[in-house]
A and B are shown apart, each in its own frame.
Chain A
Amino acid sequence: EADIYQTPRYLVIGTGKKITLECSQTMGHDKMYWYQQDPGMELHLIHYSYGVNSTEKGDLSSESTVSRIRTEHFPLTLESARPSHTSQYLCASRGGEDTGELFFGEGSRLTVL
């Protein structure tokens, strides 16, 4: 069973609010990822990190930011939420094994009114 946790699971907020989605893993994985997924659509990579103090933007243009101060923690922050940010956000991690299997958290479903 994967040890990767996301909070909150569900969040409903108003436009303009600042929010942080938390992601923590206890597997000691260096590589961590944030994906955005809308119903029936593919996962889109918005940010990733290959280790402490390393962060990169993914393919999907995003107004969010991330930080990686500790190996186990990879929070995602939206400074000013908009209705277009309504989506499911999935955090994932992987170790250095050959298959590169991703372990996913249970997701944070965000609704911006």
Chain B
Amino acid sequence: GQNIDQPTEMTATEGAIVQINCTYQTSGFNGLFWYQQHAGEAPTFLSYNVLDGLEEKGRFSSFLSRSKGYSYLLLKELQMKDSASYLCAVKDSNYQLIWGAGTKLIIKP
């Protein structure tokens, strides 16, 4: 079966750095997405990786290793507004998205 694993919850301090990991086993791979979802709101797109390596976008970076079935989202200079759930999703061989359950990130002052 297809599976996306990410930690259920993480806690970090304002101003610090946090890394959220995602491992996947899917039938084929056509890209990996990270979305941010604040409580009670819709998910919003953060990043897309299809090749191995690091993609940097401001305070957020996303890394992919296809051979290891592994990705991480790195958040720097954490702000209180970064408290949200972070969803990892993989596009499989049929170009359908397989979603992880999300990692709830709690930022403390």
| Interface residues in chain A, defined as those with a beta carbon under 8 Å from any beta carbon in chain B | 40-45, 59, 90, 99-107
Contacts and interface: CB of A to CB of B under 8 A. Distances in A.
Contacts of B100: 42
Chain A interface SS verdict (over half): loop
Nearest to B95: A100
Central interface residue in A43, A90, A101, by most chain B CB within 10 Å: A43
Nearest to A106: B42
B87 to A, nearest CB: 7
Given A99-B31, A101-B45, A101-B48, A40 B96 contact: no
Nearest to B101: A42
Contacts of A103: 45
A-B interface, 7 closest residue pairs, ranked by CB to CB distance from nearest? A104-B42, A42-B99, A99-B48, A43-B99, A42-B101, A101-B45, A106-B42
Instruction: Give the interface size bracket for B toward A.
Output: 20 to 34
Interface in B90-109: 91, 95-97, 99-102, 104
B101 A107 contact: no
Nearest to A6: B42
B39 to A, nearest CB: 9
Contact of B42 (A42, A45, A107): A107
Contacts of A104: 42-44
B105 to A, nearest CB: 13
